[in-house]
Amino acid sequence: MFKPFSIVSRTTLLIMVAAQVVFGLVLWQWHPGSLIPGPIRVLEALGQLLSTALLYDNLLASLLLTLKALLYSLALTLLISYGSTLPFFRPAAQFAVKCRYLTLTGLIFIFTLLTKDGGALKLSLLVFGIVPFFTTSFLSVILRTPAQEFELCQTLGYNRWETLYEVIIIGKADQVFEIVRQNFAIAWMMITMVEGLNMSEGGIGTLLIKYNKYNDLPHVLALQAVIFGLGLFFDYGLGRLRHWLFAYTKI
């Protein structure tokens, strides 16, 4: 366990993880600071949240908004990435990649003017924050495509549009799921921020702001645990869905 690149059994790994989690919880419980609530208080707050419909209603609102933003972002990413294979659209694709250095703080007012309501504002901010990272990941997949795959299509007599379809659209479909899985964390992290801009439609971000306003740290940390757990669940689910749809990815 203390040698680089060593391989341990699954049982050993689970025992090691469980021991580290228990050690972390004990250390947290006996932390000398009095302002940070211990795990017992956080669990009590989590139990209170789970017993009310308030948490589930707001979680559903956040999940629907996130999934909708992911679908829009994926469609835009595929359009930009596939278009980048045409020289005419390549500058636009490179511009989309560079947009990942823009911050939303200075652009919120512009998006507010361009959207009709709070729901559209949150959706547009999420899409704007996700698309550059999706595009960056997928363009790197396209650029790493071995030249032999294109040469094989030429040998088989495919034209360039058929080559695009076989090598990139069909051949990299499994990579699309992997990119969504890797970048889902970006959308899930941003959801609480954009929901704080317009709280009329609810969402887990609205709950966080509410509890944080009154310094209710046990409920804040309980909500963070829910967000973290759901993020891990979707990460695992997308990975399993990729293996199910594209069985060769298990090799």
Q: Is residue 175 part of a domain?
A: yes
Q: Is residue 24 part of a domain?
A: no
Q: What residue type is 12 in one-letter code?
A: T
Range in 140-149, 198-207, 238-247 with the lowest mean pLDDT: 198-207
The whole-angstrom separation of Cα 227 and Cα 66 is: 12
The whole-angstrom separation of Cα 188 and Cα 197 is: 16
Q: Is residue 18 part of a domain?
A: no
Confidence grade of residue 94 (pLDDT, cut at 50, 70, 90): very high
Mean pLDDT of 141-157: 90
Confidence grade of residue 197 (pLDDT, cut at 50, 70, 90): confident
Give Cβ neighbours of residue 205 (< 8 Å, ≥ 6 apart): 62, 191, 192, 193, 194, 195, 196, 199
Q: Give the distance from CA 72 to its chain's centroid.
A: 14
Locate 118 and state its tokens: 């709070």
The whole-angstrom separation of Cα 242 and Cα 244 is: 5
36: left (phi over 0), alpha (psi -120 to 50) or beta: beta
| Helical ranges in the chain per DSSP H | 10-29, 39-50, 53-83, 90-98, 108-114, 118-143, 147-155, 160-163, 173-195, 204-213, 217-245
Confidence grade of residue 105 (pLDDT, cut at 50, 70, 90): confident
Range of the structural domain that residue 146 is part of: 40-250
CATH of the domain at 176: 1.10.3720.10
Give residue 34's pLDDT: 65
Q: Is residue 4 part of a domain?
A: no
Give residue 32's pLDDT: 60
Q: Is residue 85 part of a domain?
A: yes
Q: Is residue 223 part of a domain?
A: yes
Report the number of distinct structural domains present in the chain. 1
Q: Is residue 3 part of a domain?
A: no
Select the more confidently predicted residue: 34 or 133.
Answer: 133
Q: Is residue 25 part of a domain?
A: no
